[in-house]
Structure 1
């Protein structure tokens, strides 16, 4: 990841739901309940306007679509809490997020202590409302495309794990596989980095 993102100065942060079972089965489900620290929870996905039961994948990717860092949290954890981890991993860069990361306090903290410029779209009822530049809107779609590829081509949302360790390792293996293909595309075959459906041999 470091080699692929070596010269990057712009990153995108977002999250996606990871369901472990249907919401109707959550009360009697035993999936991922072997440890208290990793219990799945009920959460809400704004982009899909639906509630679900499980976890949330938080990720930061570069403008070219390579994941720089990631974490898994219970579904009820708000997106903005992931910014506490980001400030220990990034510095001297622009970080693009959606309205879920809108916070003047976090924005100031990231900039003052780590020189991270957090750019999020403003709410229309905010004082001194300004529309986010088009280039930021366009760049932010990169991580949405990445999540779609993880879902469609790597089936990251299809869960067969019964333990949290198995669930966590499965998610990590999917992301690792995608990153390996990106690496091969760039450094071995000089292909488009995000052409993940083509043969790698």
Structure 2
């Protein structure tokens, strides 16, 4: 483990323990492995690129440094159950980290969707517990079909997650983002700008964003008069955020086999990215989404 990763995990543990995990009240046996430790270990697993929990737990138990930091870490089955039950804490931790960053107060938000494959064979599709939740979709960037979900993400300019959800790939993008904005309307500030792609064109969606005091900024389709141009430079920001999730945080290798498992593992990766961005703001690193110091 590098000094930078050790420092990041220590700072994250303190923040989560102070501001995310509610204080324990009442009687009963207190857990020897706390929720604050659980979230810290979950972030370390993603940053060190251990997509499988079994290998990760075996690595921690075999390393003296990790054993000293987390002496009561449960076995793989216990860790998996605790992590799935901590799904609300994962989201609360992301919002807490986001609120600590200067980018939280920026006027610009970005939104896009990226595939989250969950199976590669017909037999998997037929037998999976995700049947009825996941569906077939088309990934235009790779020119291929996949079976799984779509991750819809609304983030700040530096990539800090603000809103996110998993949806059936066959549901329209505008419909999903409209529901996402409606469910998280308390996070929207008046005058906020939402940067999106051409798929979010349409008078109905524009009217909906205006009703929530959002200014929609998207590339101009070819059949429209000039307004914003192609926005090619700024559109690369959200593409680079998706690439960080897929290329460095192994989003497509999540390993989830149930709806709760997939959502928990996806949120776990969003938390790891949010932690790195928050720590880079704290330490003054120029590239806020850089993971180089923490992935080894």
TM-score, scaled relative to structure 2 = 0.60
Q: Do structure 1's residue 184 and structure 2's residue 279 form an aligned pair?
A: yes
Alpha-carbon shift at residue 179 of structure 1 (Å): 0.6
Higher RCO (CA-CA < 8 Å; seq separation 6+): 2
2-side partners of 1:47 and 1:169: how far apart? 25
Change (3 A) 1:176 1:11: same
Which of 100, 103, 117 matches 2:199?
100
Structure 2, unaligned stretches of length 5 or more?
1-97
2:99 counterpart SS class: coil
Does structure 2 conserve the Cα–Cα contact (< 8 Å) formed by 1:184 and 1:200?
no
Count of paired positions? 192
CA RMSD after TM alignment: 2.1
CA contact (8 A) 2:119 2:125 kept: no
Aligned to 1:166: 261
SS class of match (2:209): helix
Of Structure 1 and Structure 2, the greater helix share is in: 2
Q: Distance in 2 between matches of 1:10 and 1:110?
A: 14
Instruction: Please give the TM-score of this superposition, normalised by the length of structure 1.
Output: 0.86
Match of 2:226 among 130, 148, 155: 130
Once the two structures are superposed, residues 92-112 of structure 1 have per-residue CA deviations (whole angstroms, 9 ceiling, x without a partner) of 21111111111111112311x
Deviations 1:131-165 (A, max 9, x none): 6346x432221111011011111101013222111
The verdict on how the C-alpha distance between 1:177 and 1:121 changes in structure 2, with shifts beyond 3 A counting, is: same
Unaligned runs of 5+ in 1: none
- Per-residue CA deviation, residues 14-54 of structure 1 (Å, 9 max, x unaligned), is 00000001254454231424xx5xx1111122333322110
User: What is the DSSP-based 3-state SS (H/G/I as helix, E as strand, rest coil) of the residue aligned with 2:104?
Assistant: coil
Deviations 1:52-105 (A, max 9, x none): 110000001111221111111112121111123224242321111111111111
Hey, what does 2:144 align to over in structure 1? 50
Counterpart for residue 147 of structure 1:
242
